[in-house]
Structure 1
C-alpha cells in the first residue's frame, strides 16, 4: 500500500488584494521614500523653529497677516504659517506626493508587477489615492501642530487681536485657529485631486509632478487681478484666503462656505476624471504613459468647463454679477469697527477711563484718489478720516489713515496722525513701552455683505 502526497492548491484561495492591504502597501512605499520622510520631518519641526525664532527678534513680518502680533500672542504664529502654506507650501507638498504617486510606477516600469499582485486597477487607484491623501493630511497636521507649539512655547497663551480689532480670548483664539486650519483642507484636497489627474494623464512627464503647483500659482495670480466677486469665489484657491473671515465678529462665513464647497467639487471632479482615465489605460503598452492630446482633452478641458459651471452657480447663489465687492460704505464700516475696538485697547493700556464702542460712536469717511462718493475697488490710494466721541466731552476726535486694500478685501490701515493717537509705533505705559494698536492694523471687508448692519 502506497501513500500519495497531494500538494496543497495554493491558487484555490488566491484572490484580489483587498483595498486595506493595498492601502498599507502603498503607504509604506510612500513613507519609505527619502524625500517624503524629509518633508514630514520638515513640516513637524521647521514651523516651530521659525515661529520661536521670530519670537526672539525685534522685527516682525508686519506685511503678513497677523505677523505684527507674533510678539504679543502665540496664536499669531500658526496663522502666519497658514498664510505662507496656502500660498507656497501646500501646493508644493501636494505636487511632490499626489503628483508623483502614479508617475513613479511609469518611471520604474513596475505596472505589470503591481497588476499581477493586486489584480484590480480599481483597487490600485483607490489604494494609491488614499495613501497619498494620508501623507498630505500628515503634512498639514504637522504644519499646524508645529507652528502652534512653537508660538505657545516661545510667546505664550495670550489673547489675539482679530481682524475687526476685537480682542479674542485664548480659548476663542484657539478654536478659530483650529477652524482656519481645518478650512484649508478643502483646497488642499482640490490640489491633491489635480495632482492625481496630472500623475495619471502625463505619466513620467515632469509636468505631471508640477501640475498642482502650476495650477495653484495661476489661481493665485488670478486672485490678484480685479476680477468680479463671483469669479474670485468660484476658484478653489479662494478657500486659502477666505479663512480670514473666521477672525471677525460676526464671522464672514458666506465666502468661506462657498470656497470650501467649490474646493470639494474640484477635488471630487479631478479625482473622478483621474479614476476613469486610469481604468481605460492600456497597461500592456509600456510606452503608454500620457500624451499632450489626452492631457488637453481629458484633463484641461473638463477643468476649464468646471470653472465656467462654478462661476455660473456662484453668481446665481450670491446674486452678485459684477463688481469687486469692495465698496466705500463697507470699507468705512469695517475701518470704524476695527478702530473702536482698538481704541478701547489703547485706552486700557494707557489706564484711561474705560469706554464702550457704543459710547465712542466711531465713524469713518473714506475717499479713493479723486473719487469722493461711490468709491470702490482695491488699491493703495484710499484715505480715511475716523471720527469718535468721548463721554462727557463735546469735542469730536479725528484720526487719519491711509489704506492699502487688496483684491481679496484685506486692508492695512496706516496711521497718519494725530501723533497722540496713531502717530507713533510705541506708546509709553505704566509698565513700559508697548506697541500702539492704532498705529497700524489689519482689517477685512466682506465681499458678499450688502447690508450695513453689524
Structure 2
C-alpha cells in the first residue's frame, strides 16, 4: 500500500527545515560528487587548453563561427567556443547536474529519509533546483573566461572583425562578448529546467539524465530544416545561433532578445511542470520508475503549447518572420556591405593605403542555381558578383565572384571564386609577412526579421 506525502503531512508541532539549510545541504551533496567537481574544473581549464592547441594548428575550424579568426586575434576564441558549447558542452553540463538531481534519490532510495528530515516536499524541490542552478552558474563563466585566456595567450589581443567586416576595438569587442555570453545563460537555464523536468518525471530511469542533451540535439536538427523564422525563434536554443547579430552594424538585437525571452519562458514553464509532477508523486513507493502519464500531461503538453503560442505571436508581431527571412535583396545588401568594409582592410594590409568604403560604391548581384531557382531561402547554391569602383582610377570597375552557403539561421559563408588577386588565395603579402586574406572567405549575417527592401 502506498501513500502520498504533501506539505501538510508533517507531524503536528514540527516545523519544516528552512530552505537555506536544505539548500546548503544539497549544494554540499552536489559538490562532493567527483564527477561534478571534475566537470566544474573542466569548464575552467579545458577551453583554454583546447583553444591554445587549435590556434597553433594550420587548419582552423572554419565551419564554426569566428573559428577562421583564431589566428588573427584571441578575442575570436570565446565566440568560437560559444558556438561549440551551445551545441555540445552546455547540454552535457545541464544533463549531468540538473538531469540527475532528483533521479539520484530514486536510485538510492533516500526519499523517505530526506522527507523525514526536512518535512516539506516543497522546500526540497526549491533547494534542489537552486543547488543545481548554483553549480551550473559556477561552471558557466569558466567556459568564456578560459577560452578568452587561451585565445589571448595564443594569438594576442588585437581588433576583432565584426560580421559586417568592420574592425571592433578590443574594448568594444570585449563588451559585446560579455553580453553574448550573458544572453547565452538564458537557453542554458532552459536546458537545466528541462533537465529538472526529466529527472522528476522519469524517476530512476537513466533517460532522465539524457533529456537535456537529447532536446539540444533535436533542436540542432530542427534548426537545419526549412521552416518559417517564427518557428525557428520559438525554440529555446536559438540564442546560440542568433548572437551574431550583435556583431553587425547596425546591431540586430531583435532576434537575440526574442531568443532570451523565449528561453526564459521555457525555463519557467519546465520548472513549474517539474514542481507540479514532484508534488503529486508517491514518495513511499521505493520502486517508483517515473510518472509517464503525468509527464505527458504536465510536462510535454505545456511546452508544446508554449512553442505554438510563441510561434503564433512572433508571426503576428514580426512580418518578416512568416517566411524563411532570406531573400535576394537581403543577401545582396549584406554581402555588399561586408565587402565594402573588408576591402579597405585588404588594401591597408598590402599597400598601406587608407581608403574609405564611400569611395568604392560597392554593389552585389546574386542568384541561385544560375537563375533557375527562386532567389530566396537557405542553400549552398547562391552565386554573387560584387562590383566596386577602383579608387584613384577613373571609370575603372572591379569585380569579384563569391559562392555563398546561406544557413537557415541567416548566417552565410562567402567563399571567394576569383580573381586570384582579390579573393583567390587565403593569404596576402603584407609588409610584416603573410597575413590572412580578409576577402578570401568570410562569414556574414542576414537579419531574418528585417522587412525586405524589394520593391
Q: CA deviation at 1:252?
A: 1.1
Report the Cα distance in structure 1 between the residues aligned to 2:438 and 2:340, rounded to whole angstroms: 11
Report the Cα distance in structure 1 between the residues aligned to 2:357 and 2:209, rounded to whole angstroms: 52
The DSSP-based 3-state class of the residue aligned with 1:187 is: helix
Report the Cα distance in structure 1 between the residues aligned to 2:53 and 2:288, rounded to whole angstroms: 49
- Partner residue, 2:281: 281
- Partner residue, 2:400: 399
1:331 matched to 2:331? The reply is yes
- Partner residue, 1:123: 123
- Partner residue, 2:217: 217
Q: CA deviation at 1:431?
A: 1.4
Report the Cα distance in structure 1 between the residues aligned to 2:142 and 2:271, rounded to whole angstroms: 24
- Partner residue, 2:438: 437
- Partner residue, 1:414: 415
- Partner residue, 1:354: 354
The DSSP-based 3-state class of the residue aligned with 2:371 is: coil
Retained in 1: the 8 A contact 2:415–2:440? yes
- Partner residue, 1:133: 133
Retained in 2: the 8 A contact 1:73–1:151? yes
- Partner residue, 2:5: none
- Partner residue, 2:248: 248
Using a 3 Å threshold, how does the CA distance of structure 1 residues 195 and 235 change in structure 2: closer, same or farther? same
Report the Cα distance in structure 2 between the residues aligned to 1:225 and 1:315, rounded to whole angstroms: 18
Retained in 2: the 8 A contact 1:333–1:452? no
1:14-69 superposed Cα distances (whole Å, 9 cap, x missing partner): 63211111111111111111111111111111000011112222221112111111
Report the Cα distance in structure 1 between the residues aligned to 2:193 and 2:12, rounded to whole angstroms: 38
Structure 1 residue ranges without an equivalent (≥5): 1-10
Structure 2 residue ranges without an equivalent (≥5): 1-10
1:269 matched to 2:238? The reply is no
1:243-284 superposed Cα distances (whole Å, 9 cap, x missing partner): 111111111111111111000000000001111111122212
1:446 matched to 2:447? The reply is yes
The DSSP-based 3-state class of the residue aligned with 2:96 is: helix
The DSSP-based 3-state class of the residue aligned with 1:350 is: helix
4+ residue stretches of structure 1 with deviation over 3 A? 11-14
Report the Cα distance in structure 2 between the residues aligned to 1:382 and 1:81, rounded to whole angstroms: 28
- Partner residue, 2:98: 98
The DSSP-based 3-state class of the residue aligned with 1:281 is: coil
1:376-429 superposed Cα distances (whole Å, 9 cap, x missing partner): 011111000001113442111111000011111111111111111111111112
Q: Which has the larger radius of gyration?
A: 1
1:168-183 alignment, distance < 5 Å:
168-183=168-183
1:285-330 superposed Cα distances (whole Å, 9 cap, x missing partner): 2233413323222222221122111111111221346321111000
- Partner residue, 1:18: 18
Report the Cα distance in structure 2 between the residues aligned to 1:52 and 1:34, rounded to whole angstroms: 26
Retained in 2: the 8 A contact 1:365–1:386? yes
Q: CA deviation at 1:157?
A: 1.1
1:18-167 alignment, distance < 5 Å:
18-167=18-167
Retained in 1: the 8 A contact 2:320–2:451? no
- Partner residue, 1:305: 305
1:229-248 superposed Cα distances (whole Å, 9 cap, x missing partner): 11001111111111111111
1:137-196 superposed Cα distances (whole Å, 9 cap, x missing partner): 112111111111111122211111111111111111111111111111111111111111
Report the Cα distance in structure 1 between the residues aligned to 2:339 and 2:286, rounded to whole angstroms: 65
Retained in 2: the 8 A contact 1:366–1:372? no
Retained in 2: the 8 A contact 1:194–1:212? yes
Retained in 2: the 8 A contact 1:129–1:196? yes
Count residues with an aligned counterpart. 443
TM-score by length of 2: 0.94
Q: CA deviation at 1:451?
A: 5.0
Report the Cα distance in structure 2 between the residues aligned to 1:354 and 1:369, rounded to whole angstroms: 37
1:338-364 superposed Cα distances (whole Å, 9 cap, x missing partner): 111110100110125321111111110
Report the Cα distance in structure 1 between the residues aligned to 2:332 and 2:352, rounded to whole angstroms: 26
